Amino acid sequence: MPHRIAIAADHAAYQLKSEVADWLRDAGHDVLDLGTNGPESVDYPDYGYKLGKAIAEGEARFGIALCGSGIGISIAVNRNPACRSALVSEPLSAELARSHNDANVIALGARLVGPEMAKACVERFLATEFLGDRHSRRVDKLGEPQL
């Protein structure tokens, strides 16, 4: 099933972003490319915030966040309360992020996973539905922390 997917990366991951975006388009998805598009140094939070905003405003159902490690951009995306970004490195974690946590964004580290593993993670993420049931109660708590 085709989806509208937002994708964003910093300079360390722009090549991986381009490859994944092209692959998604070839598979029939509508891709919203939020940059960056070159090796010039940029700040990953700026791109994580853009991605979070796109998800929150309904511009895309799912998001893919990429930086060197995937950590920084994932933190930036998760600053938006509408987002549940999970850092993944293999397909099982991508599946569990969707099925148990209703993640709507996955983050990948371009320095840690290659293009084929990134595509395998994205493919599993998009193919997995949220299980709901007992997981819904837990996901609801993510939006309303009891500090």
Confirm whether 100 is a catalytic residue: yes
Cβ neighbors of 127 (< 8 A, separation 6 or more) are none
Tell the residue number behind the tokens 């090796």, with chain if given: 39
Q: Which of 29, 67, 83, 121 is catalytic?
A: 67
Residue of 29, 83, 100, 135 marked active site: 100
Residue of 13, 27, 38, 34 whose CA lies nearest to 125: 27
Is 138 one of the annotated binding-site residues? yes
Q: Give residue 86's identity as a one-letter amino acid code.
A: A
10 is in an annotated binding site: yes
Q: Is position 69 annotated in a ligand binding site?
A: yes
Looking at the chain, how many residues does it have?
A: 147
Q: Is 4 annotated as a binding residue?
A: no
**Which parts are annotated binding residues?**
10-11, 68-72, 101, 111, 134, 138
**Which parts are annotated binding residues for D-ribulose 5-phosphate?**
10-11, 68-72, 101, 111, 134, 138
Catalytic residues: 67, 100
